[in-house]
Structure formats: C-alpha cells, structure tokens
Amino acid sequence: MKFYILFGPPGAGKGTQASAMVEKYNLRHLSTGELLRKEIAEGTELGKKAKSLIDAGSLVPDEVVEGMIDNAFKSTKDVAGFLLDGFPRTIAQAEALDKMLAAGGEEVTAVVSIMIPDGMIKERIRHRASIEGRADDAKEETINNRIKTYHEKTEPLVDFYKKSGKYVEIDGTGTIEEVRSAIFNAM
C-alpha cells in the first residue's frame, strides 16, 4: 500500500490538489480537518469537543486524530493507498503514524509538501472565506493562530521527514495547474 502525506501550511492548496491525486493513483483522501468538520456538522460528542479548539485555530488532541486515522485505515478496502491531508501535524502524530503503519508491515511512502509564504496564506484563506464559509476562516484572530500553530507545532515535521529521505517540496505559489503538474512529476 502507498501512504502519501500531503503537507503544507493552512491554505497551501492541500485540499485543492488532493482530488486529482486520489483519482490518478486510486488513493483514499483522508483529511483530518474534513473529518472533524463532519463530526461538528453531525453534532457528535467528538465534534462538540473539537469545535472550540478549531474555532480558536488550535489543534485538537493528538489521540483524537490518531484514532480517526486508525479507524479509517482499518475500515477502507479496495484502494491502492491513502493520501493523508493535514495529518500528521505534530511530531507525536508522526511517531504514532509510523507505529500504526509498522504494525501492518507498512511505512510512509513520501511526503509531498506544498509551500507558500505566510502573506499568501491569508490571501488564499480570505478568498476561500468568500466562497465556502468555513467557521475557522472567518476571523483574522483564528487565521493568525492557525499560522502560529503551524510554525510552532507542524513545521518541525519538515526536518523529521527530511531525515528519512522521504520529503519532496513543491512551490505552491503558482497556478493550480502548475502546482498539480509539479506534484505529479514528484510522485
């Protein structure tokens, strides 16, 4: 099985690029952000607990997302692999993922990292806010905290994955089509 990680700051284009990637390589797209928004929309206990953290632009606890990913791995059949979008987001999550995969004799295939500068993150999120109405896109304060959280908790994963030789960085500042073809070349 293939286990690709789609990495990058908020608004980098992970969700945008995921659909073409899953189609081309027969992968299941697993976005922890989307899974959490579904829990919130359905009003589950997990959703209720996650909502205030997401609205503040903070991360939900590692165990929560690790459980969601583990369940999805176990319940998915008939795919060539997975495209993890927005997971892992902390070193602890990356280590938990390695353990989950090792238990089945698997490992991370590659980390595709889409990079854009902080200024562009805000532009992209403002643009999306005018179209999609995501709660965590609405307030400047939330967006700033998502960017801060990314730099503090998630960016250390770049070195983590560079050390394993699985890290490929893509310039995310071009058009959607340019970024897509750079990703396909890398994969």
Tokens coding 103: 């238990």
CA of 119: how far to CAs of 13, 109, 122, in Å? 14, 31, 6
Gap between the Cα atoms of 162 and 61, Å rounded: 25
Contacts 24+ apart (CB under 8 A), 70-75: 70/100, 72/28, 72/30, 72/35, 73/100, 73/104
Which part of the chain contacts ligand AP5 (CB under 6 A), choosing from 20-28, 40-48, 87-95, 100-108?
87-95
* DSSP run (H or E) holding 127: helix 118-132
Query: What type of residue sits at position 167?
Result: Y
Q: Provide the minimum distance between the beta carbon of 145 and ligand AP5 in the complex, in angstroms, as a whole number.
A: 8
87 binds ligand AP5 (CB under 6 A): yes
**Alpha helix positions (H), 1-117:** 14-25, 32-41, 45-56, 62-75, 91-103
12 binds ligand AP5 (CB under 6 A): yes
47 binds Mg ion (CB under 5 A): no
* Count of residues touching ligand AP5 (by CB under 6 A): 31
Of 6-35, binders to Mg ion (CB under 5 A) are 14-15
21 binds ligand AP5 (CB under 6 A): no
Active site residues: 14, 89, 128, 134, 146
83 binds ligand AP5 (CB under 6 A): no
Q: Provide the minimum distance between the beta carbon of 12 and ligand AP5 in the complex, in angstroms, as a whole number.
A: 4
Q: Which member of 22, 59, 83, 157 binds ligand AP5 (CB under 6 A)? A: 59
Gap between the Cα atoms of 128 and 24, Å rounded: 25
Cβ neighbour number for residue 53 with a 10 Å cutoff: 15
Q: Provide the minimum distance between the beta carbon of 141 and ligand AP5 in the complex, in angstroms, as a whole number.
A: 13
22 binds ligand AP5 (CB under 6 A): no
Residue ranges in contact with ligand AP5 by CB under 6 A: 8, 10-16, 31-33, 36, 53-54, 57-60, 65, 86-87, 89, 93, 124, 127-128, 136, 146, 175-176, 179
